[in-house]
Homo-oligomer: A and B are copies of this chain.
Amino acid sequence: MALINENFLKLKAGYLFPEIARRVKAFTEGNPEAAQRLIRCGIGDVTEALPEAVRYAMHEAVDELGNRSTFKGYGPEQGYDFLRNAIADNDYKARGLPIEADEIFISDGSKCDTGNILDIFGQGNTIAITDPVYPVYVDTNVMIGNTGEADENGAYAGLVYLKCTPENGFVPDIPQEKADLIYLCYPNNPTGAVATRPQLEAWVKYARENGSVLLYDAAYEAFIQDPTIPHSIFEIEGARDCAIEFRSFSKNGGFTGVRCAYVVIPKSLMGRKKNGEAQALHPLWSRRHSTKFNGASYIVQKGAEALYTDEGKSQTKALIEHYMGNAALLVEACKNAGLSVFGGVNAPYVWVGCPAGLTSWQMFDKMLNEANVVITPGSGFGSAGEGYFRISAFNSRANVEEVCRRIAALK
């Protein structure tokens, strides 16, 4: 009798995006004319064309596979050296950060990486997440058995929820209790907040004192405009001993459909056996990667490498400027409408307080029905997201300008 993993049954049916889809569908079916005007600012998916440098490199890679003398079969599971070196040189060494190419593991996406990383950790760890939060961190912990059941608000027993509010700038205070694994995501999805250097220093200090590991998701680092804000956790002294960093080409290079990301695990980072003995995490992840993954597509890795050429950097910069220009317009429009606004300055997400008296879902319905704009209700990211909504800046300029006009016209 094949036993199932009953932890899956604790999961709340992915209520957020399916519920959004259900309401949007009902609206468009009932209002075919308004449906023509619908603008989607819900899901955080890029919209603009893939950089030319990337396309050129991928065309070349496809042609290489068409010739047996340049054909590539299985590549190294951890990624090709050409890409690991480009990342180490550009994202780390050029910033003076001590990360070597063989501490970088190429993958097909940060969603996979942030979920799969739990494979190398044992049972019995206390897991801390921010609230609101990217739901994947929570759900993957539920699946692997690191939580109990959910309560009526969707909060799972056993998880430590770190509240993010305007008072702490949406960067959680250092907790009193001990946590073993702490997920931090800055620039933040969904709030658009960034963590300052002193805030990250406090987290690194906490992690080192407690033997914790920070799971630092920097998927949006390219959107940082403020030169004082760290792009990498490894800008903080001591982080090599307590942090894993997740990076992605999805949002800077427009790779959401192309699929490429990477994880950095310093060789000096240690976990512990139950008997207290230290064990390096790098070889565990390397073994996992070799055994349960066969490398990212060669074509895709060649495309990612092209992001580090002069043309690639300039085309990425233009994409970032486009989306951040959108974000600035949205911030301005929401402020002018008298709403309290967060994020949107160093991140492509604008986090907006609902007008007095409206819940997240009520605001969702109002935006859908009155403005014909799809946003994301904050409560979908956790109970501390109630009273907020997220607007994504990933769109065309024309659509964003139209969204701004409709926000201004909201009653």
6 contacts between A and B (CB under 8 A): A2-B212, A5-B120, A5-B121, A45-B74, A47-B68, A257-B297
Contact of A257 among B50, B63, B65, B257 (CB under 8 A): B65
A318 in the interface, Cβ–Cβ < 8 Å?
no
**A125 in contact with B291 (CB, 8 Å):** no
Interface positions, chain A 211-231, Cβ under 8 Å from B, are 211-213
**A122 in contact with B6 (CB, 8 Å):** yes
A140 in the interface, Cβ–Cβ < 8 Å?
yes
Task: Please give me the residue from chain B that is nearest to A77 by CB atom.
Answer: B111
- Cα distance A168–B348 in the bound complex, in angstroms: 62
Task: Kindly provide the distance from the CB of A20 to the nearest chain B CB, expressed in whole angstroms.
Answer: 14
A67 in the interface, Cβ–Cβ < 8 Å?
yes
Where chain A touches its partner, the secondary structure class is loop
A62 in the interface, Cβ–Cβ < 8 Å?
yes
Given A5-B284, A43-B74, 20 new contacts (CB under 8 A): A1-B180, A2-B181, A3-B123, A3-B125, A4-B121, A4-B279, A4-B284, A9-B273, A11-B287, A14-B291, A72-B257, A75-B257, A108-B108, A111-B292, A119-B143, A136-B291, A259-B295, A259-B297, A299-B299, A300-B300
Question: What 7 pairs across the A-B complex have the smallest Cβ distances?
Answer: A115-B292, A3-B122, A1-B211, A45-B73, A4-B271, A73-B256, A50-B65
A272 in the interface, Cβ–Cβ < 8 Å?
yes
Which residues on the B side are within 8 Å of A163 (C-beta)? none
- Cα distance A74–B66 in the bound complex, in angstroms: 27
- Cα distance A67–B47 in the bound complex, in angstroms: 10
- Cα distance A129–B74 in the bound complex, in angstroms: 25
Task: Kindly provide the distance from the CB of A106 to the nearest chain B CB, expressed in whole angstroms.
Answer: 12
**A297 in contact with B121 (CB, 8 Å):** no
Beta-carbon contacts of A114-143 to B below 8 Å, as 1s and 0s? Answer: 011001111111000000000010011001
| Stretch from A52-60, A84-92, A232-240, A370-378 contacting the other chain | A52-60
Task: Please give me the residue from chain B that is nearest to A182 by CB atom.
Answer: B2
**A49 in contact with B66 (CB, 8 Å):** yes
Interface positions, chain A 230-259, Cβ under 8 Å from B, are 254, 256-259
Query: What's the number of copies of this chain in the assembled complex?
Result: 2
Task: Kindly provide the distance from the CB of A323 to the nearest chain B CB, expressed in whole angstroms.
Answer: 13
A288 in the interface, Cβ–Cβ < 8 Å?
yes
Q: How large is the interface on A (under 10, 10 to 19, 20 to 34, 35 or more residues)?
A: 35 or more
- Cα distance A52–B292 in the bound complex, in angstroms: 30
Contacts known (A140-B291, A257-B74, A294-B112); A124 close to B4, Cβ less than 8 A:
no
**B294 in contact with A259 (CB, 8 Å):** yes
A311 in the interface, Cβ–Cβ < 8 Å?
no
**B63 in contact with A55 (CB, 8 Å):** yes
A336 in the interface, Cβ–Cβ < 8 Å?
no
- Cα distance A231–B143 in the bound complex, in angstroms: 33
**B1 in contact with A210 (CB, 8 Å):** yes
**A180 in contact with B300 (CB, 8 Å):** no
A265 in the interface, Cβ–Cβ < 8 Å?
no
**B8 in contact with A120 (CB, 8 Å):** yes
Which residues on the B side are within 8 Å of A112 (C-beta)? 292-294
**B298 in contact with A3 (CB, 8 Å):** no
A281 in the interface, Cβ–Cβ < 8 Å?
yes
A46 in the interface, Cβ–Cβ < 8 Å?
yes
Which residues on the B side are within 8 Å of A143 (C-beta)? 119, 288, 291-292
A396 in the interface, Cβ–Cβ < 8 Å?
yes
Contact of A272 among B1, B55, B108 (CB under 8 A): B1
Contacts known (A14-B290, A291-B140); A62 close to B73, Cβ less than 8 A:
no
A274 in the interface, Cβ–Cβ < 8 Å?
yes
Task: Kindly provide the distance from the CB of A7 to the nearest chain B CB, expressed in whole angstroms.
Answer: 8
A109 in the interface, Cβ–Cβ < 8 Å?
yes
Interface positions, chain A 294-312, Cβ under 8 Å from B, are 294-300
**B55 in contact with A68 (CB, 8 Å):** no
Beta-carbon contacts of A145-167 to B below 8 Å, as 1s and 0s? Answer: 00000000000000000000000
